[in-house]
Every structure is written in C-alpha cells, then in structure tokens.
Amino acid sequence: MSVRLLEPAQAELEEAITWYAGQAPGLGDAFLIETLKSIQLIEKFPQAWHPLTPHIRRCRLRRFPYSVVYTLEGDDLLVLAIAHQHRKPGYWRNRLN
C-alpha cells in the first residue's frame, strides 16, 4: 500500500509541526513522529478507525488534538487532511471532488 497526502493535508502537517516546534523544543518532531506512526497503523489496519462516511475514516492522534482523515483508493491510502479536532469540523469534505 502506498501513502499519498493531498497538498492541503501536507500543508496542514507542516503548519502543525511548525506551530508545535515554536511551543517547546522537540514538540514539532514529536507531532511528526506520532502522525507518521498513526499513518503506519492505518496502512496495516485501514478499516480499524471511525468511519465518517462510507468511504472516509478518521484516526485520532493520542497526544495531540489532531486526526488523520483518509480514504482508500484501490491499494493506495489517500490522506485528505491532518485535521485539528476542535476547528471547523468537516472542512475537508470537498477535497475528494
């Protein structure tokens, strides 16, 4: 399974890393590591997380208030958003169109 992040999801990831890095030394790296671990788990068990629609799922990070919002396209994992859990719910919904 290959993993692909949409450009807006990549931008969200980079923005969150930068923000956390500014809060405390090493925190941006910790956010990136946790996000990558979550994506690896999704690759192994893509159906294991909460369905938001019939084709879109969400995996919440443990330490940070973010979720990896994703869908499967054939054998590929497509990350639609690295979404903050308390801001603008569902803003990413039009990214599949």
Is residue 2 within 8 Å of residue 77, measured between CB atoms?
A: yes
Which pLDDT belongs to residue 13? 98
- Written as tens digits, the pLDDT of the chain (97 aa) is 899 999 999 999 999 999 999 999 999 999 999 999 999 999 999 999 989 999 999 999 999 999 999 999 888 999 999 999 888 888 888 887 6
Return all residues near 78 (Cβ < 8 A) that are at least 6 apart.
4, 6, 70, 71, 72
Q: What global pTM score does this model have?
A: 0.92
Domains and CATH numbers, the chain: 2-86 (3.30.2310.20)
